[in-house]
A = this chain, B = another copy of it.
Amino acid sequence: MINRQAVSAAETYVKDDRYWSYVLTDTVMNIEVPAWSLSNRDLGLPTRFHIRKKTLHGGKQEGSTLIEIETDAMDVSIVPTRGMSILDARSGDVTLGWNSPVDEIVHPAFMNLEQRGGLGWLDGFTELMVRCGFEWTGHACEDAGTRYTLHGRSANTPASTVVVQVAKAYPHGIRVFGLVKEKTFKFSDLEVWAGLSIVPGEARFEVHDRITNLSDYARAYQIIYHTNFGPPLLEESAKVLAPLLEVSPFNDAALPGLEHWSTYSAPTPCYDEMVFNCQPCAQNGDATLAALVNAGETRGVVLRYSTQQLPALTLWKNTDTLKQGYVTGIEPGTNAPYARTIERDMGRLRQLAPRESTSFDLTIEVLDSAAKVVAVRDEVSRIQGGRETRLSKAQKRFER
């Protein structure tokens, strides 16, 4: 019949015979597997892992899906119904993620992004890494009668296709790909393959996303990797390590904290948030990193990415009380999280030509020793190369 693809987008993955492939969701094959499990023993492999898919029930979780990957070195969980968001991860005694007052994995059917003047997104915000995008990101605004709601629609779009793969070759890397679509007649024809890969035995995972503009017209897009950490890494005197040329306040509240941008307070009543615009420097103008390390510098997490892909870095310090949300965001993006109108006027709105694709690659790695923290600190210094991190009091935008 018309208007329906004959071949699933999952096929590209399934036919790659270096992997065992499992299609858990697919609109073309009409599949949504409610529960599923695969362990290394099912495949006769010695490397231990366990992958589970669940459908969640009750409250605003009804219908949400969750994929949990467990390996000896790291666990990570993904929410296909929330645009392949990464809910949380764990390696040894380090948990990645945070405790939001939003304590359910909210299904998009219960969301209304238009609420509170475009802040509806906050009803579902709970993830370790949530992709903000793709037609727009950033603070809510109105432009020409359209409300651009906070951080866009991707986190509240259920994946149309989900494929789990296990490499046949040692070390049997595990990959999960989900297809997230943002399509509106006349306005948008974006498809994003949102991927996560993890190798059993390693305390890290990689994110590989590919966004394609299927339209015959050039279209703007935005993406911010809103990556969020709470305790145990976040604590009083925890620090950010990153090679930066400049740090400036994103909002007025950040100005008084500019001097101390890289260190964290204990949970602080009425702190609300300080947000900083950061200008990273990179190795060969490309590879960079940003780390959060605990006060004792014995544990940490490092985020590696490309400044070519993601030139803007936002540091969100929300060290309010534990119940209110004691959390920091390290957020590489194609742009800052100002309103789309501001980003557009500042010339920071990227375009994709017709049929053009672009990719984003990030690695998140847990640091489980002081030695590893030192190594990251050295790496940051090397990239910084003795250059000053300028502290600028001026906001890098012109609010309208």
Binding site for B on A (CB under 8 A): 1-5, 25-27, 30-32, 54, 56-63, 68, 75, 77, 87-88, 90, 95-104, 108-110, 112-117, 119, 122-123, 125-126, 128, 144-147, 157-161, 179, 181, 183-189, 214-217, 230, 269, 320-325, 354
- Which residues of chain B are near A117, meaning CB under 8 Å? 144-147
Q: How far is the CA of A58 from the CA of B126 in the complex (A)?
A: 23
- Which residues of chain B are near A26, meaning CB under 8 Å? 57-58
- Which residues of chain B are near A68, meaning CB under 8 Å? 1
- Which residues of chain B are near A128, meaning CB under 8 Å? 2
On whether the beta carbons of B183 and A123 are closer than 8 Å, the reply is yes
Copies of this protein chain in the complex: 3
- Which residues of chain B are near A57, meaning CB under 8 Å? 25-27, 30-32
24 contacts between A and B (CB under 8 A): A1-B75, A2-B90, A2-B97, A2-B99, A2-B230, A3-B87, A3-B97, A3-B98, A4-B103, A5-B103, A26-B57, A27-B61, A30-B54, A58-B161, A101-B215, A104-B160, A112-B113, A114-B114, A114-B115, A116-B147, A116-B184, A119-B184, A123-B184, A216-B322
On whether the beta carbons of A88 and B30 are closer than 8 Å, the reply is no
- Which residues of chain B are near A189, meaning CB under 8 Å? 101, 323-324
Tell me the minimal C-beta distance from A138 to chain B in angstroms: 16
Using A189-B101, A321-B216 as known contacts, say yes or no to A62 and B32 having CB atoms under 8 A apart.
Answer: yes
On whether the beta carbons of A323 and B114 are closer than 8 Å, the reply is no
Using A109-B109, A116-B146, A117-B146 as known contacts, say yes or no to A158 and B2 having CB atoms under 8 A apart.
Answer: no
Contact of A77 among B1, B97, B158, B230 (CB under 8 A): B1
